[in-house]
Chain A
């Protein structure tokens, strides 16, 4: 590259004939412009201007834009400008760039607060309506599939059971084990004060199988498989695979949604059972280490203390959680639009919604079961 002189602008105000003389020198190209630009505010706007280009080395479209800005500044204030000694090449560039120049359009004005309030309210109401429509439509297709059992995608269900269930075992094991350890540690300190060490078995057995194991399983599955469902369906939406499926008569609800829902409804109860075992085992280890409660004593006590209803209540919650996670995450997947940002946005929304719904559903269960005295 040839060495270039930085762009300069010399302002000579009040020259003999009363006009301002602006002399442009050097290379008016993008890399060299910043020095000149700050000078614009120094330009006196009280007389017509004459712009001298005789010592201009180079001009590119950015330099032309700056020149145009200066000229506009004068015109805006009711003065005229004349450009002198413009080389043919530069004049041609400048005039071609600005020959058919439409007036600048202002940015669309930002919206008022009242408008935004209405906009967001309307959107949330519409969101609920859309979700209900989705739910209704999927139920319609469920009915259709149940009436035509040959349309059930068994292969797809099995493969989802493998990815959401079998492959989730390690993370479920670690989470449940640690929850068991934490519950044991927290309660053993309190129980020892009363000399009631043996009740650690009741605490761990009931709290894990009835509440904690189902909840932790559902949250891990929502984060792991719910996000995957949204991302898978979202990516298919972006690449128009879903449109292709529809044109071939492959209904997305029977091909994509229900296999995932069914798979999770089968998998989550099994995972809860697994989490029960591992969680109680974690508590058992701590009980032995901390208050010399042997495994045999623990298990003996567990058989008396843990009524079967607690275990069943825990397992029964599973399909409900599974349904909520799968429906919300597939719904969010279908909402993905064509831009790359939306896939991340809806995956986040899907996980947040799924975890919220799981916790809300769990609270509902608690209230209901208390009323039923279970």
Chain B
């Protein structure tokens, strides 16, 4: 087995008196595409927000890229945040900046590279995610849904992270665009040696590109592993989620 990138152990989280996670554990290995699955309100997005330090958890340990979140210092936090890229569900591109500037701002803030090289890097990232060259001069409100996702992905990849978080990457895309986006993520994983963690509902995505996943339900981990392994298990939530027996994924 390759090395561990994210290790969550016995995570307990709650909003007020509502428990979201009751001793949830999961492990993400290097270079795999890992999905956080579950029905609406199962806490998969919360788990991801906890992994990217946007939300604290109540108890348990979370280790990402070797940093334990219970003992991490603010300076280490800043350093760690530069080692991952996050693609938000709605893109979250800065609306006052063009696509090119959205990417370039990271280089301007965190490197002392010349404008010429930054320009070249922006071009490379835009080309890498399959956007047309003229897109770099457009503002986010001039882009279509699929282009916003790609532009946000280019921004997430700006600092050459080894770890990429995707929040519902194919939501709001048509089926063809969704499959193209899946293919892009798989290609980038191979090309750049990324580890990808995603929250998704898309059964096709799970079927085609996800290596391993964790299925959350009733505040706990229902199952963790590869799709064929999990489909062997007989559990109502698994049957429901994968629509076994009807038109869903067959075992």
Contact = CB atoms under 8 A, between A and B. Distances in A.
Contacts of B137: 107-108
Interface residues of A, number: 32
Contact of B140 (A60, A101, A104, A339): A339
B71 to A, nearest CB: 17
Interface residues of B, number: 27
A70 B199 CA distance: 40
Contacts of B96: 339-341
A105 interface: yes
Given A65-B117, A102-B127, A339-B140, A30 B134 contact: no
Interface in A81-101: 93, 96-97, 100-101
A337 B112 contact: no
Contacts of A29: 160
A192 interface: no
Given A61-B192, A102-B133, A339-B140, A34 B113 contact: yes
B29 interface: no
B123 A104 contact: yes
Interface in B191-205: 191-192
B121 interface: yes
B141 A65 contact: no
A215 B6 CA distance: 63
Interface in A261-280: none
B120 A65 contact: yes
Interface string B149-185: 0000000010110000000000000000000000000
B117 A64 contact: no
Contacts of B120: 65-66, 68-69
A299 interface: no
B48 interface: no
Contact of A33 (B66, B113, B141): B113
Contacts of A133: none
A61 B141 contact: no
Nearest to A69: B120
A341 B96 CA distance: 7
A37 B124 CA distance: 17
A60 B162 CA distance: 10
B40 interface: no
* Residue in A34, A37, A65, A103 with the greatest tally of chain B CB atoms within 10 Å: A65
Contacts of A62: 121, 160
Given A37-B113, A104-B133, A340-B95, A61 B124 contact: yes
Interface in B118-139: 120-121, 123-125, 127-128, 133-134, 137, 139
A37 B117 contact: yes
A108 B136 CA distance: 11
Nearest to B100: A107
B139 A339 contact: yes
Given A68-B120, A97-B124, A340-B95, A33 B111 contact: yes
B95 A341 contact: yes
A124 interface: no
B247 interface: no
Given A62-B160, A65-B121, A65-B124, A339 B95 contact: yes
A340 B112 CA distance: 30
Nearest to A107: B137
Nearest to A93: B191
A338 interface: yes
* Residue in A61, A100, A341 with the greatest tally of chain B CB atoms within 10 Å: A61
B116 to A, nearest CB: 7
Interface string B16-48: 000000000000000000000000000000000
Contacts of A105: 133-134
B114 interface: yes
Interface in A1-32: 1, 29-31
A140 to B, nearest CB: 30
Interface in B204-234: none
Contacts of A37: 113-114, 117
Contact of B117 (A1, A69, A338, A340): A69
Interface in A103-126: 103-105, 107-108
Contacts of A100: 127
A30 B95 CA distance: 26
Contacts of A104: 123, 133
21 contacts: A30-B160, A33-B111, A33-B113, A37-B113, A38-B114, A61-B121, A61-B192, A62-B121, A62-B160, A64-B124, A65-B120, A65-B124, A68-B120, A96-B191, A97-B128, A101-B127, A104-B123, A105-B134, A108-B137, A339-B139, A339-B140
Interface of B: 66, 95-96, 111-114, 116-117, 120-121, 123-125, 127-128, 133-134, 137, 139-141, 157, 159-160, 191-192
Given A33-B113, A101-B127, 7 more contacts: A30-B159, A37-B117, A62-B160, A93-B192, A102-B127, A105-B133, A105-B134
